[in-house]
Amino acid sequence: MLNKKVAIVTGGTRGIGLEIVRTFKKNQAEVVLFGSKEESVMKTVSLLKEEGIDVLGYYPNLNDYEEIEKKVKEIYERYGHIDILVNNAGISANKKIEDTSIDEFNSIIDLNVKAIFNMTKAVVPYMKKEKSGVILNTSSMVSIYGQPSGVGYPASKFAVNGITKSLARELASDNIRVNAVAPGITNTDMVAKLPKEMIDPLIKSIPLGRIGEAKDIANAFLFLASDMASYITGVILSVDGAARS
């Protein structure tokens, strides 16, 4: 479904991001994964190689635009085109507002919002050259319903939705599609860190009777990245088992 397309996936070393990397590679894309640390990137690249999957891995600071711009240019010069950008890197939060420091709030906004701006700004000029491209952002079910505590996380994901819908309109004339996937409760290490009292009530609200798996979410990204979704842009696709909060 992605034959010979070049994709960059941020937050590609674990969880949903890692499964997106696997799924894209199995569908014949060239994939470059970005992670936060050299150790985690090298470990993931090695793990994938053991699975018979070859990818490039880098660990740029997503809040340093000049560093991002340089790395994206390097990728473009290596492959001659960049077709897909998946802005998946992010961090969650669950503290009540009185227990959340200003620095903690800023860290969430920096990675979940500003990094998307930086990556997208760096990639768009190359997509415009080709008059083609797909930008996919990882949102969340909390961008629709909010959550009981940890206000920085839903705030950042509401922003992701706004970026997605606005850029879809802005970039449509260049045949660049922009969509987001809003996962529900998904079986990842990030969710495993959340308190049981927060997760259990949410699971009970899922009509399909289970939490999602990373593969469920990666398949949604695959569809939106592929030509099968060529007339879809500006959509926030919920993949949550019809969960409601």
Give me the helices (H) in the chain, please: 15-26, 38-50, 65-79, 102-109, 115-130, 142-145, 152-171, 189-192, 196-204, 214-225
Residue 96 scores a pLDDT above 90: yes
Average pLDDT over residues 13-37: 98
- Give the tens place of pLDDT for each residue, 184-235: 989 887 677 778 887 788 788 899 988 999 999 999 999 999 999 999 999 9
For position 192, what pLDDT does the model report?
A: 77
- Give the tens place of pLDDT for each residue, 46-90: 999 999 999 999 999 999 999 999 999 999 999 999 999 999 999
CA 132/CA 235 separation, integer angstroms: 18
Residue 150 scores a pLDDT above 80: yes
- Give the tens place of pLDDT for each residue, 100-140: 999 999 999 999 999 999 999 999 999 999 999 999 999 99
For position 137, what pLDDT does the model report?
A: 98
Residue 244: which pLDDT band, with cuts at 50, 70 and 90?
low
Verify whether residue 79 is a known catalytic residue.
no
Which domains can be identified in the chain, with CATH numbers? Answer: 6-238 (3.40.50.720)
- Give the tens place of pLDDT for each residue, 50-59: 999 999 999 9
For position 49, what pLDDT does the model report?
A: 98
CA distances from residue 161 to 31, 57, 104, 134, 186 in whole angstroms, order as listed: 25, 27, 21, 16, 19
Average pLDDT over residues 131-154: 95
For position 245, what pLDDT does the model report?
A: 52
- The reply to whether the predicted model has a pTM over 0.85 is yes
For residues 8 and 85, is the Cβ–Cβ distance under 8 A? yes
Check 79, 145, 153, 231 and give the catalytic one.
153
